[in-house]
Amino acid sequence: MANIILVALFPLIFLIALGYVLKRFRFLEDKFWQGAEKLNYYLLFPVMLFLGLAHAEIQASEIRHMMLGAGLTLLIAVCLLYILKALYGTAAARFGVYMQGMVRFNTYIGLALSASLFYQQGMALFAILLVFCIPLVNILSVLALTISEGMRLQSILLSLLKNPLILGCIAGGVFNLLNLRLWIGFENYLKQIAISSLPLGLMCIGAALQFQGLRKDLRTLLLNTFGRLLLMPMIALATCLALNLPALHTQILVMFFALPTASSAYILTKVLGGDSQLMASVISLQTVCAAFSLPLILWWVM
């Protein structure tokens, strides 16, 4: 089992490292990485999610299990964060960073791991989590960052309805429910698009890594990293055991909550006036540490 996990993680880690090296030595211009992120976010990745759900065999009980397990885990984590906020009086600019560091997740790493370790059924279960958790964690993140500004919930929901990842999952779910089929030539075309999504996305993660601000808030960064990469999967496992979920559902949920936070958290933090430098450090440290924590968590749960 340890060898299987290592084989699954090795290409992911080295694709991220390749992106970091290419960006650091300026082999490609910054405009390339900006364009690559946009292409992947709006086209390649939604197509992959669509294909993952369109032909998957999904039962209603599986959807219920994944939503219940993820929802309870997030509820426990959010309650703990707001208790700590009340105790320490944390400002919204930094509290929003802590919230995103704990509840957001890197979809590229997660889907790549699901495909490598759990195959088609695992990818389908992971896609269910995306449909449920992307709107939820975005709302939690925005509310945490704008807790004193009173941002309207309507504007948040409108932006989520236009999220290409959610739209890709919904389209795949509709195809699945209606038992629709694409012409084989067009389906093969979409498969070629989808194949390029994960390697490009993983290299973009590496290109976005920033380590300049690690020394400034090292204690805070270490606590947040410990909370996301070790505490969250423990809470997820306890929740799955309490709900008596099947083994595959438990493994996917624990893996999901062991992922580092999303690179896109930096953009949201900057737009809403949060501590973007701290957010960049959280993303970078969690991504690097996940290379060591994920093998342990996966070996433990599998």
d(CA 128, CA 67): 8
Over residues 202-257, the pLDDT tens digits come to 898 888 888 876 777 788 899 999 999 999 999 999 999 999 999 999 999 999 99
Q: Is 210 exposed, middle or buried (0-12, 13-18, 19+ CB in 10 A)?
A: middle
What does the pLDDT average to over 100-111? 91
pLDDT value at position 32?
93
d(CA 224, CA 230): 10
DSSP-assigned states of every residue in the chain = -HHHHHHHHHHHHHHHHHHHHHHHTTSS-HHHHHHHHHHIIIIIHHHHHHHHHHT----HHHHHHHHHHHHHHHHHHHHHHHHHHHHHT--HHHHHHHHHHHH---HHHHHHHIIIIIHHHHHHHHHHHHHHHHHHHHHHHHHHHTTTTT--HHHHHHHHHT-HHHHHHHHHHHHHHTT----HHHHHHHHHHHHTHHHHHHHHHHHT---TTTTTTHHHHHHHHHIIIIIHHHHHHHHHHHHT--HHHHHHHHHHHTSPPPTTHHHHHHHTT--HHHHHHHHHHHHHHHHHHHHHHHHHH-
Q: What does pLDDT average to over the chain?
A: 86
Q: Which residue has the higher pLDDT, 295 or 8?
A: 295
Domain ranges of the chain: 2-301
Whole-model pTM: value is: 0.85
Residue 150 has pLDDT above 70, yes or no: no
d(CA 95, CA 99): 6
d(CA 195, CA 72): 33
DSSP-assigned states of every residue in 163-211 = -HHHHHHHHHHHHHHTT----HHHHHHHHHHHHTHHHHHHHHHHHT---
Of the chain, the percentage scoring pLDDT greater than 90 comes to: 37
Residue 156 has pLDDT above 60, yes or no: yes
Short-list 277, 275, 279, CA closest to 263:
279
d(CA 109, CA 63): 21
pLDDT value at position 176?
83
Dihedral (Cα; 62, 67, 72, 73), 10-degree rounding: 90
Q: How confident is the model at residue 152 (pLDDT cuts 50, 70, 90)?
A: low
What does the pLDDT average to over 184-207? 89
What backbone torsions phi and psi does residue 28 show, to the nearest 5 degrees? -125, 150
Structure tokens, 155: 């504007």
pLDDT value at position 208?
83
Look up residue 56 and give its amino acid. A
Over residues 108-137, the pLDDT tens digits come to 899 889 888 888 888 888 988 988 888 888
d(CA 75, CA 244): 18
- What fold, for 2-301? Na+/H+ antiporter like fold (1.20.1530)
pLDDT value at position 83?
94
Of the chain, the percentage scoring pLDDT greater than 70 comes to: 94
CA distances from 63 to 49, 60, 101 (A): 16, 5, 25
